[in-house]
Structure 1
Amino acid sequence: MGQHEKIATSLPAAVTEAVGASLAGVDAELARRYPGDPGTRQPVHTVYVPADAYTAGTVRSWGDQALAALDEHAPDAAALGRVLGLPDALAGPVYERVRDKLTREPVEDLRIDFEDGYGPHSDEEEDEAAARAARIVQETYSGGTPGTSAPYTGIRMKCLEAAVRDRAIRTLDIFLSGLMTGGGLPDGLVLTLPKVTYAEQVAAMASLAGEFERVYGLAPGRIGFEIQIETSQAILAPDGTATVARMIDAAGGRATGLHYGTFDYSACVGVSAAYQASDHPAADHAKAVMQVAAAGTGVRVSDGSTNVLPVGSTPQVHEAWRLHYGLTRRALARAYYQGWDMHPGHLPTRYAAVYAFYREGLEPAAARLAAYVARTAGSVMDEPATAKALSGHLLRGLDCGALDPTEVTRLTGLTRADLESFTAPRG
């Protein structure tokens, strides 16, 4: 065919225009419902602390207790490597990074708990606790001392069921009002709505957030929240549809995460106490539905926790560590990049598991991404979606401290901005 020869087509422009017009509504729905991942940092865990136990020293105390546990039960890299089955070449870098993390930023996401972990209190006591929590959050955020605040912090209020609804709303109001009068909402503010069973409860929470924004003249959508999945009704509606998908829609763009509640959900579906764990088939089913419902929406999914605490003798601690490490690695492989930690002794194995996961994947991911950029296939022919996943792996490793920017750039030839360009939300 000659260079200037016209390529034949058969359809008039009006046909293309008509197709575009017929799909305009779908285009708008795709953009609204599935904007893609927001591209922001996702914490690797959430730590829950009862509201009456929360102080300005909580984060530092958790870090110090975790370091003390390492000193007592795994005083060097070789010891931790033996407990967790890490190869020598990996144990050293992981151990050093874990200790640094526990010193510098022991908690990534802190939730001040006014629900199950708080227990029964009078209204006056809860009012005071909510106001105190707001003051301490502002103080620790503005203090700027490393290791004393978490990048993400907020409260888990009570649920919006009738018996505790008024109390839940009042606690939320006191906490947010305290933050506003104390200097404004922190960038890392996170709110958690527990025990959700109907999408209407999510819509009500979104309405509360909107009213608060109106009162203080905040930008619409400034206040988001996580939805805690703790009931079977949150997964499957009476008509057989996925309730959790409706919940995301009912949030009106305010939902930031879906958090799996291991023990409440397990009990709800009748799992015996001895078998309530995040790797139970019932848990896997619930999280798989959550994952599919959240895919593409920008809402992140978090795994739950283990109630086996690393306390007691060294053999007991090691056994609990191995369990927690294994559950965390299992979750990471299933793309649940966040979980709950219930005790300071869980922090060493949380970070050891996360760091081992990202460091083991560093060189293979970097090589595949570099080959993709260079358009050389090697032994694997990757597509744009895989390049997005590879970049996401490296970015999550950088965010939590598992990887260093210099080593990622050395292995890929890419800057952080380059990596982010692969993972950017749908435009």
Structure 2
Amino acid sequence: MASSLTDNDVARVDARLEQTDELLERAYPGDDGSRQPIHTVYVPGHRYEPGLPAQWGADAAEAVAAAGGTAALCEKLGLDPLLTEEIAPLVDAKLASEPIEDLRIDFEDGFGDQGDDAEDAAAVAAAEHVATAVAEGTVTPFIGIRFKCFEKATRHRGLATLDRFVSTLAEAGPLPEGLILTLPKVTTVDQVEAMVGVCERLEDALGLEKGRLRFEVQMETPQLILAADGTVPVAQLLHRADGRITSLHYGTYDYSAALQIAAEYQSMEHPAADYAKQVMQVAVAETGVRLSDGSTNIIPVGSPEAALDAWKLHARLVRRSLERGYYQGWDLHAAQLPTRFIASYAFYRQGFAAAASRLDNYLHHTDAGIMDEPATARALARFVARGLQCGAVTEAEITDAAGISTRELMQLAHPKLTLKENA
């Protein structure tokens, strides 16, 4: 065979791209395939106790029962009868077994300023309650605290709460696997780097393994989208956090208020919100950092008509986020749980048959009118995997519809991980 490039030529290309190879491997490892919660529930720090998730599930079930039951609510939300028949029992089971996937014990806006003594005591009590839930096996899959931000006025208070919570929790035993800390109202990359330093110091002091403490960044300020020097800090901070950032969470109301959007029009679907979230989405692509949309403060309470209107709004916003690649959001009230699960399960079940069929055709080289590329096949596999992880579809359904095992599904969805495992 004819050939013009020598081994030296190829070696020179390797040498020239060595730093690029290192950058891609370090900064863009891809999603790790682990479970992402479909929501984060916020509760004030002084109101958390081990039985809270079960109580929220019971309250949510009671709200649904008052509306005629889950099937009736599904129909009122516009789901067709066949889909309702599939989803209603799944939602009822979810509310009974795992009503909250990710719980954030809030010492920021949800707690306010109650004085140092009260916050110290509440932070210690929260850690003790989490330790109890871990020991009893009732802790939510993901749990953590949101402490006050690193701006000058609240920095010391936030650090004290973080210290007391983590130190108390670590002294009680192994930290929960799903422990996540929340750094709110971030305005600069320096604040993120400071948080990295705090995590390192806590790990050293408590004898924790390096990298054990990870945190999410709340995107609530326009300064992270566009800095004073014209750069995009949200893209920078991901690569200055030593791999400790788990996710970016959009803060609907703080961000909207900073842009002087009138309160009536502050919403997850405002064009300003969409712009910020699109910037976030591009910034996290292939980094392994996840995204979460924000919340709606319209709660399904009051008259049946008002509750139904709020449920319809919440369900529509959840669906809207999912369609735009935001697979997580905030819930602020137990009555929002039913529509979180209804809308999420409907999203995955409505798309499952087509996605599974296309995967089957792709994997088995069937000519079915759509020639999916590898990138699209990965997207299809990730969609199905997310449906499996949140409980919308089962392993048996995936095997029957796509002719693929769960392991094969995850290998297709996350090929970078497969390559590392085989290396």
TM bucket (normalised to shorter chain) is over 0.9
Aligned to 1:185: 175
1:333-348 counterparts in 2 under 5 A? 333-348=323-338
Correspondence 1:410 to 2:400: yes
Amino acid at match of 2:18: A
Q: Deviations over 1:151-194 (max 9, x none)?
A: 10000011111111111111111111111110021101011000
Aligned to 1:277: 267
Using the aligned pairs only, state the percent identity.
50
Q: 1:52 aligns with which of 46, 51, 54?
A: 46
TM-score by length of 1: 0.96
Amino acid at match of 1:62: W
Correspondence 1:61 to 2:55: yes
Correspondence 1:38 to 2:32: yes
Aligned to 1:298: 288
Aligned to 1:73: 67
Q: 2:187 aligns with which of 188, 197, 200?
A: 197
Amino acid at match of 2:400: R
| Pair 74,295 (structure 1): closer, same or farther in 2 beyond 3 Å | farther
Q: 1:117 aligns with which of 110, 113, 131?
A: 110
Q: Structure 2: where are the runs of 5+ without partners?
A: none
Correspondence 1:143 to 2:143: no
Q: 1:422 aligns with which of 403, 406, 412?
A: 412
| C-alpha contact (below 8 Å) 1:54/1:112 kept by paired residues | yes
Aligned to 2:228: 238
| Pair 95,320 (structure 1): closer, same or farther in 2 beyond 3 Å | same
Q: Structure 1: where are the runs of 5+ without partners?
A: 1-6
Following TM superposition, by how much is the alpha carbon of 1:425 offset from its aligned partner in structure 2, in angstroms?
Answer: 5.9
Aligned to 2:304: 314
| C-alpha contact (below 8 Å) 1:130/1:171 kept by paired residues | yes
RMSD: 1.0
Give the Cα separation in 2 of the matches to 1:282 and 1:370: 40
| C-alpha contact (below 8 Å) 1:36/1:297 kept by paired residues | yes
Give the Cα separation in 2 of the matches to 1:374 and 1:76: 39
Amino acid at match of 2:266: Q
Following TM superposition, by how much is the alpha carbon of 1:82 offset from its aligned partner in structure 2, in angstroms?
Answer: 2.6
Aligned length: 417
Give the Cα separation in 2 of the matches to 1:214 and 1:375: 53
| C-alpha contact (below 8 Å) 1:35/1:425 kept by paired residues | no
Q: Deviations over 1:193-229 (max 9, x none)?
A: 0000000000000111111112223222111100000
Q: 1:225 aligns with which of 215, 220, 224?
A: 215
Amino acid at match of 2:52: T
Give the Cα separation in 2 of the matches to 1:312 and 1:27: 57
Aligned to 2:197: 207
| C-alpha contact (below 8 Å) 2:314/2:336 kept by paired residues | yes
Following TM superposition, by how much is the alpha carbon of 1:291 offset from its aligned partner in structure 2, in angstroms?
Answer: 0.5
Aligned to 1:390: 380
Correspondence 1:28 to 2:22: yes
Q: 1:358 aligns with which of 348, 351, 361?
A: 348
Amino acid at match of 2:370: V
Runs (4+) off by over 4 Å: none
